[in-house]
């Protein structure tokens, strides 16, 4: 198990990437070679979706792609026509899960079950969403978000996931209302695909 604590989203992205590059095992995802750390626990103390480090170093096209995935209900062509996160979260068989979480936290600020999922087992066959569980709870007067991901690609997409998850956390916190607390992510597989290894080495070297 790998535990990473960071102040910001950008620091978290680069620190996990650095550890993958230094100690990751040779593995594969969908037949493509990767370097991988398993069972990564990542805690970000100040998750701000307007992270300066990510804005300066990440690929704007991938950030835009992930943003659309979280806000546009259309199916995602690049994922074989799978449902977007927006649809899974805002229209899960007719339920707006984000609104449901807000109502649950307002009704019971101490609840331990303000948890929602992106999994749709009857429809998800070839594609399984990387982020599957979002669990909101109040910790020491602030709203923490705990997330489970079966895998996160730190060479291309994970920074976009971090930004959009933090954006959702801020949205729910403002609606409850509560201050924003920590973002905690449990990733079974944190990896970098082989084509991105050199680019991530350059980025982590620059950010040292």
Q: Where are the domains of the chain?
A: 2-206
pLDDT tens track for 10-62: 999 999 999 999 999 999 998 999 999 999 999 999 999 999 999 999 999 99
Question: Rounded CA gap, 29 and 39, in Å?
Answer: 15
User: pLDDT-based confidence at 104, cuts 50/70/90?
Assistant: very high
| pLDDT value for 81 | 81
For domain 2-206, say whether CATH 3.40.50.2020 is its number.
Answer: no
Percent of the chain at pLDDT > 70 equals 99
Q: Are 144 and 184 in contact (CB under 8 A)?
A: yes
Q: Which residue, 55, 54, 9, is CA-closest to 184? A: 9
pLDDT tens track for 55-89: 999 999 999 999 999 999 888 888 888 899 999 99
Question: Rounded CA gap, 35 and 27, in Å?
Answer: 6
| pLDDT value for 123 | 84
Q: Are 34 and 193 in contact (CB under 8 A)?
A: yes
- Give the strand pairing for 180-193 and 142-153: parallel
pLDDT averaged over the chain?
Answer: 95
**Cα maximum dimension of the chain:** 49
pTM: 0.95
Given a cut of 80, is residue 207 above it in pLDDT?
no
């Amino acid at each position: 198990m790998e535990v990473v604590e960071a102040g910001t989203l950008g620091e978290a992205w680069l620190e996990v990437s650095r550890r993958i590059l230094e100690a990751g095992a040779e593995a594969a995802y969908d037949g493509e070679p990767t370097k991988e750390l398993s069972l990564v626990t990542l805690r970000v103390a100040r998750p701000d979706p307007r992270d300066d480090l990510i804005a300066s170093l990440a690929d704007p096209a991938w950030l835009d792609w992930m943003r659309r995935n979280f806000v546009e209900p259309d199916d995602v062509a690049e994922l074989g026509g799978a449902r977007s996160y927006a649809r899974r979260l805002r229209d899960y068989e007719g339920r707006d899960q984000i609104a449901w979480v807000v109502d649950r936290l307002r009704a019971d600020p101490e609840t331990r079950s303000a948890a929602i999922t992106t999994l749709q087992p009857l429809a998800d066959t070839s594609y399984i969403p990387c982020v599957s569980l979002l669990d909101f709870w109040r910790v020491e007067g602030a709203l923490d978000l705990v997330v489970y991901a079966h895998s996160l690609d730190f060479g291309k997409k994970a920074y976009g996931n971090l930004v959009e998850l933090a954006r959702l956390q801020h949205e729910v916190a403002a609606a409850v209302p509560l201050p924003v607390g920590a973002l905690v992510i449990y990733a079974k597989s944190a990896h970098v695909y082989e084509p991105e290894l050199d680019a991530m080495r350059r980025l982590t070297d620059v950010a040292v």
